[in-house]
Amino acid sequence: MIIIEDNVWLGDCVLIVGNVVIGEGSICAAGAVVTKDIPKCAIVGGNPAKIIKKRFDDEMINLLLELKWWDKSIKEINDLIIEAMENNAFPGACLCIVKDDNVYLESYGLKAKYPQEEKNDVNTIYDMASCSKVISTTTSILVLAEMGKLRLYEPVCNILPEFNLKNVTVWDLLTHTSGLISGLPGSHSMTKEQIYDGIMKLEPIYEKNTKIVYSDLNFMLLGFIVEKLSGMTLDKFSKKYIFDPLEMYDTGYNPEDINRCAPTEDRGEYIDRGYVHDEVAHIFNGVCGHAGLFSTVEDVSHFIKMVLNDGVYNGKKILSKQTIDLMFTPQVEDKNGISLNNEKRSVGWIVKGCYPNSGDLASPNTIMHTGFTGTNIVIDRDNKAGFSLLTNRVHPTRANNKVISFRSRLGNYIFSHLEEL
């Protein structure tokens, strides 16, 4: 098990190998490969990581460890999350905060409450739910666009000829303005073939580009498009072109080690654990464009760093700067320049507006998304910062929406204290 103590700062692309403890107040330089325990308040670097120097003399280290003078802001963040758990907003959580090249990781509470309690840690794998839409599906579509495999304004029927709505484009799907209903009625009791055929035959419920209707069907179609154009399943394509280059080795669909996974809903006869919570994605064997991705908070921090670095991670280009610019640019507005439904959408992402996720104090140049199971991701380009709070708020029941208001309060604290973190 990897143990990262309080106030540890990890530089870009630090690799931690084996069962090690990274001591409180230590700093790991960019590119360090940590293979053994790091003492408190040490600065290490290299491959393998070696102690470069101590941050302070021994007397000062002992005093600072006792006072924890640097820890006020982190302690208050921890207190906010602990308070939310005490109010039963979620049984446990993992948090990452990214600022410039620095990453803060922490775990809280329980990974599981039932059938027996299990303590949480930063290696817990979470069902990302609708965060799958942006981390996996949207990014896959944008990668295909950069490969020259599609145009974002391409009619969907050019790629999927059986699709009924001939004027709907890939862009309309990405921005939730396609005219499609939010979900296919009765799909929970259908086969995947019946669901596919049903989506292909749908009629619009509104004129496209006249309003935003958040729809899983839009992203199911995008998942089908990825598979059709690439000749690969969505899970294999995203692994090859996104997760492996980003060193997101614990991210993917249908995780192998279910014991590392945070359980979600109690279904009566069994508890969802290690397979997707979303019922429709489950019918598609856990791999679908709207849901199904699993990840850890550390892996999500790699994705955030890539976006903040204009599409590059550890020297590897995942997306171009032009594409990252597109992700931060509101695309859905009416003729008067007022966002439809008082909401701003870019390609796949929500752009900061009235949506209660990032809080009120992030910059206008902020994108975000949430997942039904209790996950979120927020990236503020102007402040060169982002965070992700991963919870399993649906464990043991989905009848709990307390995390929604909490996200805003947490976001407000983080973005108002970035200089202190």
Q: What's the mean pLDDT in 151-162? A: 98
pLDDT digits (tens, 9 = 90+) for 29-61: 999 999 999 999 999 999 999 999 998 888 777
Give the pLDDT of residue 279.
Answer: 97
Strand pairing class (316-317; 50-54) = unpaired
Statement: residue 177 has pLDDT above 80: yes
How many angstroms separate the CA atoms of 13 and 31, rounded? Answer: 5
Q: What's the mean pLDDT in 12-38? A: 91
Q: Three-state DSSP class for 374? A: coil
Match 């380009």 to its residue by tokens: 381
Statement: residue 63 has pLDDT above 90: no
- H or E stretch covering 195: helix 192-200
Please check whether residue 347 is in contact with residue 142, taking contact to mean a CB–CB distance below 8 angstroms.
yes
Least confident interval from 171-185, 270-284, 346-360: 346-360
Considering Cα of 3, then 88, then 294, then 170, what sign does the dihedral take?
Answer: negative
Least confident interval from 45-59, 288-302, 335-349, 353-367: 335-349
Q: What's the mean pLDDT in 295-319? A: 98
Structural domains of the chain, with CATH: 3-67 (2.160.10.10), 77-420 (3.40.710.10)
Match 């991705």 to its residue by tokens: 293
Give the pLDDT of residue 114.
Answer: 87
Give the pLDDT of residue 335.
Answer: 41
- H or E stretch covering 104: strand 102-112
Tell me how far the alpha carbon of residue 195 is from its chain's centroid: 26
Confidence at 352, pLDDT banded by 50, 70, 90:
confident
Name the residue type at position 345.
R
How many angstroms separate the CA atoms of 212 and 182, rounded? Answer: 10
How many angstroms separate the CA atoms of 143 and 137, rounded? Answer: 10
User: Order of strands, edge to edge, in the sheet holding 293-295?
Assistant: 126-127, 293-295, 252-253
Least confident interval from 21-25, 79-83, 339-343: 339-343
Instruction: Calculate what percentage of the chain has a pLDDT beyond 70.
Output: 94
Statement: residue 354 has pLDDT above 70: no
Give the pLDDT of residue 337.
Answer: 47
Statement: residue 149 has pLDDT above 80: yes
How many angstroms separate the CA atoms of 375 and 391, rounded? Answer: 6
Tell me which of 19 and 248 has the higher pLDDT.
248
Statement: residue 357 has pLDDT above 90: no
Nearest by Cα to 206 from 347, 343, 340, 339: 340
Match 């990236």 to its residue by tokens: 379
Statement: residue 362 has pLDDT above 70: yes
Confidence at 341, pLDDT banded by 50, 70, 90:
low
Name the residue type at position 335.
K
Is the peptide bond prior to 185 cis by the omega test (within 30 degrees of 0)? no
Tell me which of 228 and 18 has the higher pLDDT.
228
Give the pLDDT of residue 420.
Answer: 75
Name the residue type at position 14.
V
Tell me which of 57 and 205 has the higher pLDDT.
205
Tell me the average pLDDT of the chain: 92
Name the residue type at position 53.
K
- H or E stretch covering 22: strand 21-22
Q: What's the mean pLDDT in 319-339? A: 79
Statement: residue 343 has pLDDT above 90: no
Statement: residue 327 has pLDDT above 50: yes
Joined tokens for residue 255:
């995780």
Q: Three-state DSSP class for 311? A: coil
Q: What angle do CA 234, 181, 144 make, to 5 degrees?
A: 25
For residue 37, how many other CB atoms are within 10 A of its CB? 14
